Chain A
Amino acid sequence: MKLKRRKFDSLIIGAGGGGLRAALQLSRADAKVAVVSKVFPTRSHTVAAQGGVNAALANVSPDNWHFHMFDTIKGSDYLGDQDAIEYMCRAAPKVVYELDHFGVPFSRRDDGNIYQRAFGGQSQDYGGAQASRTCAAADRTGHAILHALYQQNINARTHFFDEFFAIDLIKDEQGYVLGALALEIETGEPILIEAKTTLIATGGAGQLFRTCTNALINTGDGMAMALRAGIPLQDMEFFQFHPTGIAGKGMLITEGVRGEGGYLVNADGERFMERYAPQAKDLASRDVVSRAIAIEIREGRGCGPDKDFVYLKLDHIGADIIKKRLPGIRDTAMTFAHVDPIESPIPVYPTAHYTMGGIPTDRHGQVVVPEHHGPEEPVPGLYAAGECACVSVHGANRLGGNSLLDILVFGRAAANHIIEHLKANRYHRPMNEESIERALDRLKRWDKKGEGESVAGLKAELRKVMEEHCGVFREQEVLSEGMEKVQALKSRLQDATISDHSQIFNTARIEALELENLMDIALATVTSALGRTESRGAHSRVDYTERDDENWLRHSLYFHNGSMDYKPVRIKPMTVDPFPPKPRVY
């Protein structure tokens, strides 16, 4: 059968906030844009973001972008690239005002301005008093943003390929990216989408871990596609564990709860964060709070019959504020933990949440790799933005409220760069038929019939291995064993088969393709974690407990063949003085 082909100026893979923000910018600039998404756009995981988006609007506390920049660099444990962070923090107010213009129903202050709440790691005056910088639509900010962006894309007449699964990037011999091969899930038909530029905006890989806040679709598809196309993944050892997932289940309870005045208590009823972070207390950075909870539990001060969680107490902030500012997590707590937070505390535990690492890019969203002339040479025609990318603005630990900001700022920046690229590159390059064949082979592999390992079984094993071997605290032996186990699972995956070979909406085949992606991301994560012999941000080694700036103030790069490389952190901001590494105290 002849392969279906479509041609666009620009292809965007992923319809979360990053993809949709880029699509909107491009459609409004009259570029012909195709957005390919494996789910209907408003089902993308941006929808689940709760607390808000950071921008120094100074609506509540005195603020400016430079304070925000400092907090982000300190939060990153100095691994973030300071030029990109300056760019993001300067752009933040503008992108938030744009959101209001797009229709996002932000909560409001009495003066009619956007409501901003306190969030972790946010300060005034470079480490002074708590800042209120996080712009919120109750505790449904991601939902509000994602829907508004989709709505504006309807108005801008963006082309959507809903429920199409991207299989692989198409490249030519010279290294140009020419588009991607996708699978129409409803019909099982492959389709080639040719484009002068391709933007990967496929989100994170939280499904690596058994207990996570992430949706089932977060399987790192774009990152794995990049790996297979010869692009390394950067800083994959840094995986964020959110302090407050519902214990044993993982549903996210926003940091906004603590921003509105909630706090954590152990079995003795002690507000233990006062010991770990005397100034910021419960609003220290996420890595700090997650480790504190893990230590409390390890030392026997956990709550409940098995002493295996702590409580998040918010009944004291009152029913009015909870109903007004935190209605979504109240629902979630009642549905999944069977407690009404107006009356009782919520049992919580650190839960896998966010992939800090990803596809290396510069601050224009261009994918950059070590090639002939230094460590950051652009891959022509290829861009990445959002959680799948590593700019790096989050470094070793992301601040709450900076992920929605990241997708907006860099979705927009990538689109602006693409617009310039399209002006200079008016025509599609010749197609590389060989590259299409390789992508089609990836699909054909799952036509294999007969007995074999089950995809669901292997996925469950993988997530358990990652949780046990690559969690909040890490050490050499446990990581090595974890790496061997993941490698063994990866080779077993080659013998897996599916029993459903229908062409019509075959979800078994999609799950198999997703597991292949997840397996590669797991290896990248555990290999990078094994390599980094220091503790920095979310990467906490019990055998190397200190941060080691002399040897490790550098980004890691993991290649598909399992090898590692490193490159320097961009310490020099765009216009201001650098913030040199300092001990990190909250």
Chain B
Amino acid sequence: MQFSIYRYNPETDEKPYMQNMVLEQVSSEMMLLDALLALKNQDESLSFRRSCQEGVCGSDAMNINGRNGLACITPLDSLSSPVVLRPMPGLPVIRDLIVDMGQFYQQYRNIKPYLIVKDPEPEVEHKQSPQQRDKLDGLYECILCGCCSTSCPSFWWNPDKFLGPAALLQAWRFLADSRDQAEEERLEALEGPYRLFRCHTIMNCVDVCPKGLNPTRAIGNIKHLMLKRSI
């Protein structure tokens, strides 16, 4: 199978280039990550992040034939040859397929991604009905891989001002949690022309999310809540 892989090492390369690589032995059981590990055996300098190999840690997000995804859960036989691999778009490249996710993580931190409870802590668990808990499904499963935000044109343009789909999904995750008591300040912090409202419902985020989550719907829910609060 043929691969065309984005290579760049700032120590030695003046500019990035695409390298052609070939993997002779390919089986139908292989995931793209298996192929990358085999290619790394051919050329140790090929650099990418990876860990769990089963789509739960979010390390190996990359742009695969033009679309963001996780290498470890992308079957090789679902890809047309040559497989074109690039780093996730819109973030600075450190080396090869490894991007600097600093801006992405900063936007996550900006939404205060933690439960805020102002009442005294109960001696046991907070009560939460199954229906209240169901509201967190499709939100808490986010693995912070970055596929969504780095496929969002609004995030490409304003990665410092627009929170991006991943952070906004988490913003809604805490607004939707019956235990959280910071609705007012959370909504306040999302006001302004950029942070939330730069979302133009392009829906690339929904299209690429490897966990099948829906940031666009979460953003819609936040907007709805803001509207409700203003009237």
A interface residues (Cβ-Cβ under 8 A, vs B): 39-40, 42-45, 47-48, 57, 96-97, 100-103, 105-114, 137, 140, 143-144, 147-148, 151-152, 154-155, 186, 215-217, 251-252, 328, 331-332, 335-336, 454-457, 498-500, 502-508
Cβ of B215 within 8 Å of any chain A Cβ, yes or no, is: no
* Residues from chain A with Cβ under 8 Å of B40 in the complex: 456, 507
Given known contacts A103-B114, A504-B10, A215 and B51 CB-to-CB distance under 8 angstroms: yes
Residues from chain A with Cβ under 8 Å of B132 in the complex: 108
A455 to chain B, nearest CB (A): 8
Contact flag A42-B9 (CB < 8 Å), given A155-B112, A186-B94: no
Q: Mark B119-133, 1 if CB is under 8 A from A, else 0.
A: 001111111111011
Which of chain B's residues has its CB closest to A149's CB?
B114
- Name the segment of B16-24, B140-148, B149-157 touching the other chain: B140-148
A48 near B45 with CB under 8 A, answer no
Chain A residue, CB-CB nearest to B108: A154
Number of A-B contacts (CB under 8 A): 152
How long is the Cα–Cα vector from A167 to B1 in the complex, in angstroms? 38
Q: Given A108-B130, A140-B141, A504-B10, check contact A151 B41 (CB 8 Å).
A: no
B136 within 8 A of A: yes
A215-B44 in contact given A100-B126, A106-B125 (Cβ < 8 Å): no
6 A-B pairs with CB atoms under 8 Å apart are A101-B115, A101-B121, A215-B52, A251-B53, A336-B54, A499-B44
* Cβ-defined contact, B56 with A47, below 8 A: yes
Q: Say yes or no for B59: interface residue by CB 8 A criterion.
A: yes
Which residues of chain B (91-143) have a CB below 8 Å from chain A? 94-95, 98, 101, 105, 109, 112-115, 117, 121-130, 132-133, 136, 140-141, 143
The answer on a CB contact under 8 Å between B57 and A103 is no
With known contacts A48-B56, A101-B121, A103-B177, A43–B115 Cβ distance under 8 A: no
| CB nearest to A217 among chain B residues | B51
B: residues with CB less than 8 A from A are 9-12, 40-41, 44-45, 47-59, 73, 94-95, 98, 101, 105, 109, 112-115, 117, 121-130, 132-133, 136, 140-141, 143-144, 174, 177, 179-180
Q: A39-B51, A215-B52 are in contact. Are A112 and B94 (CB under 8 A)?
A: no
Specify the chain A residue showing the minimal Cβ separation from B10: A504
Chain A residues with CB under 8 A of B121: 101
Contacting residue for A113 out of B9, B10, B125, CB 8 A: B125
Residue in A154, A251, A252, A500 whose beta carbon sits within 8 Å of that of B45 in the complex: A500
Give chain A residues whose Cβ lies under 8 Å from the Cβ of B41.
454, 456-457
Q: If the complex has contacts A154-B113, A456-B41, are A144 and B140 also in contact, measured as CB distance less than 8 A?
A: yes
8 A-B pairs with least C-beta separation: A103-B115, A112-B127, A151-B114, A508-B44, A100-B125, A500-B45, A43-B57, A215-B52
Q: Which residue of A lies closest to B105 (CB)?
A: A40
Whether A504 touches B54, Cβ cut-off 8 Å, given contacts A101-B121, A155-B114, is no
Nearest Cβ in chain A — how far from B132, in angstroms? 8
- Which of B47, B48, B109, B174 lies in contact with A154, CB distance below 8 A? B109
For B59, what are the chain A residues with a Cβ–Cβ distance below 8 Å?
Answer: 39-40, 43
Kindly list chain A residues whose C-beta atoms are within 8 Å of the C-beta of B9.
Answer: 502, 504
Contact A332 B54 (CB under 8 A): yes
Bound-state CA distance A332–B180 (Å) is 31
Contact A505 B52 (CB under 8 A): no
Bound: A96/B54 CA distance, A = 27
Given contacts A108-B130, A215-B57, contact A43 B51 (CB under 8 A): yes
Q: Find A335's partner among B49, B55, B127 (CB 8 Å cutoff).
A: B55
Residue of A nearest to B130 (CB): A108
User: Are B45's CB and A108's CB within 8 A?
Assistant: no
A154 to B106, CA, bound (A): 11
With contacts A502-B11, A502-B45, A508-B45 known, is A110 near B129, CB below 8 A? yes
